[in-house]
Amino acid sequence: MTTPGDPSSIRSQVPPLSVEKKAQFEATLAQLAEDTGEGAVYLLQLLRANRVPSSVYMQYKGRLTKSFSAVKWANVKTLYGYANPKQVPILEPVSWYMASDVALKIWERIMEEEASTSSLDMADREAKVVLWVHSVLSPILWLFRGAINNDAEGPLPATTSSTDGFGEFIYNVLESSLVVVVECKTTSPSIDSIAQLMVEMESAWCANEANGLDTPIVTGALCTSRQWYFMTYDGHRHAMSKAFDVVARDGKEQTRSIIEIIGIFWKMCLDGYIMALKAFIGRSKAQMRESGRRQVSYEKWKPALTLARQAEKNARKAKTDATCHTAINSLLESIKQLPAEHDRGLTDFVALGREFYSSKEAEAGAEEAEEEEVEEAGAAEEEVDPEEEEFFRKLKAESPMLTPLEKRRKIGESGDGEPSSKRTK
């Protein structure tokens, strides 16, 4: 049972706006300041009241990017009824074991970024935090071979945001279902930063609905130069985790914390992938009911989901690299089952690179052998000084126990075999 203003009452089937209502809507938006969160709040309120369909909401959200980045906690109080972040329900995220080779790859990327920019705790711009976050996420996302990718909005000018700009990743599963939203900030998160993430997560939920996809939750992360927070939104309410320290005085303590974060992201991504598969299956069923025809893609979604669930089962119980890789292998097999329209056609640069270097190595080996033959032939043609050749022949014939200096002295004393240019006059 829903109540007025409850986000669960959102309907993507709301009738299209009439010309008159659309004109009123445009006029109201034009009156709202771009550098405040009023536009974002107004748009969400219309959506919740079923006055605009989800598709229209997403269209206008793109025009109100500055307003969404300027949302403050005062706006959230109106939307969600929380006096402060402490009233947001507590989330206890679960961390799954990640195979050591993947985790070490993440550490290598972190070290590379810190060496080329700065350590995370010294990051003075959102861009540096984004690079650090990307170092953690990229090796995990690669396990999905492009099935999960991000639509990065990038930084806005500092004057348009209450928190001096932002860096945001909105992660799509199979290019449609939004499951992970990441906000990056430089300093410790303010209540306004939390408010912005909450609004973005509800927007992601609406985007799924606009695409006819039913996802149980949308997950999010708020990442700063010192602490990271995780959040979920289920269409009714948000929940937020405690702070996870990514910078600590003790290296071992920091390592444990980041490994826990890696496991949380791994679970978030795999859960999101499975939720997306279920959502696509649900949409396919609805389309088949409407058309009365069976869809080819539906036959692909089912085996992909079966394999993904097997991956989840192993990932959930994994405590060793072997079990984790069993989960990863099931995931890769699941991705192979996806409908052809979801094949992103990524170029396999690794395979092409191996082929390139393999052919170049063969060519270079042949060239080096040819050059050596030329050098040997040239050396054989060089003119040899008979006196010098006789001198070194006699040196070689001497006792190996003598030093080269002693050999020279001995030959010199005998007065025989010393090159004329070396004899004492």
**pTM for this prediction:** 0.76
What are the pLDDT digits (tens) for 387-425? Answer: 777 776 776 666 555 555 555 555 555 555 444 444 444
- Do residues 215 and 275 make contact, with C-beta atoms less than 8 angstroms apart? yes
Which residues, in sequence order, are CB contacts of 82 under 8 Å at separation 6+?
76, 88
Residue 161 has pLDDT above 80, yes or no: no
Give the pLDDT confidence score for residue 397 in this predicted structure. 67
Count of Cβ atoms closer than 10 Å to residue 268 Cβ:
25
Give the pLDDT confidence score for residue 96 in this predicted structure. 98
Residue 375 has pLDDT above 90, yes or no: no
What are the pLDDT digits (tens) for 199-218? Answer: 988 988 888 888 888 889 99
Question: What region does 146 belong to: left with phi over 0, alpha with psi -120 to 50, or beta?
Answer: left
Structure tokens at 222: 């708020």
Least confident of 10-24, 158-172, 249-263, 337-351: 158-172
Residue type, 308: A
What are the pLDDT digits (tens) for 311-357? Answer: 999 999 999 999 999 999 999 999 999 988 777 777 888 888 888 88
- Report d(CA 257, CA 93) in Å as an integer: 13
Give the pLDDT confidence score for residue 104 in this predicted structure. 94
Confidence of residue 278 (pLDDT cuts 50, 70, 90): very high
Q: Mean pLDDT throughout 136-149?
A: 90
Structure tokens at 1: 């049972």
CA atoms within 13 A on the CB side of 361: 6
Angle at 82 between CA 69 and CA 186, to 5 degrees: 35
- Report d(CA 72, CA 69) in Å as an integer: 9
- Report d(CA 242, CA 92) in Å as an integer: 8
Give the pLDDT confidence score for residue 410 in this predicted structure. 58
Instruction: Please state, in angstroms and as integers, the Cα–Cα distance from residue 275 to each residue in 89, 213, 337, following that order.
Output: 22, 10, 16
Angle at 200 between CA 152 and CA 21, to 5 degrees: 110
Give the pLDDT confidence score for residue 164 in this predicted structure. 38
Count how many residues are written for the chain: 425
Return the beta strands (E) in 60-163 as ranges.
148-152
Q: What is the mean pLDDT of the chain?
A: 79
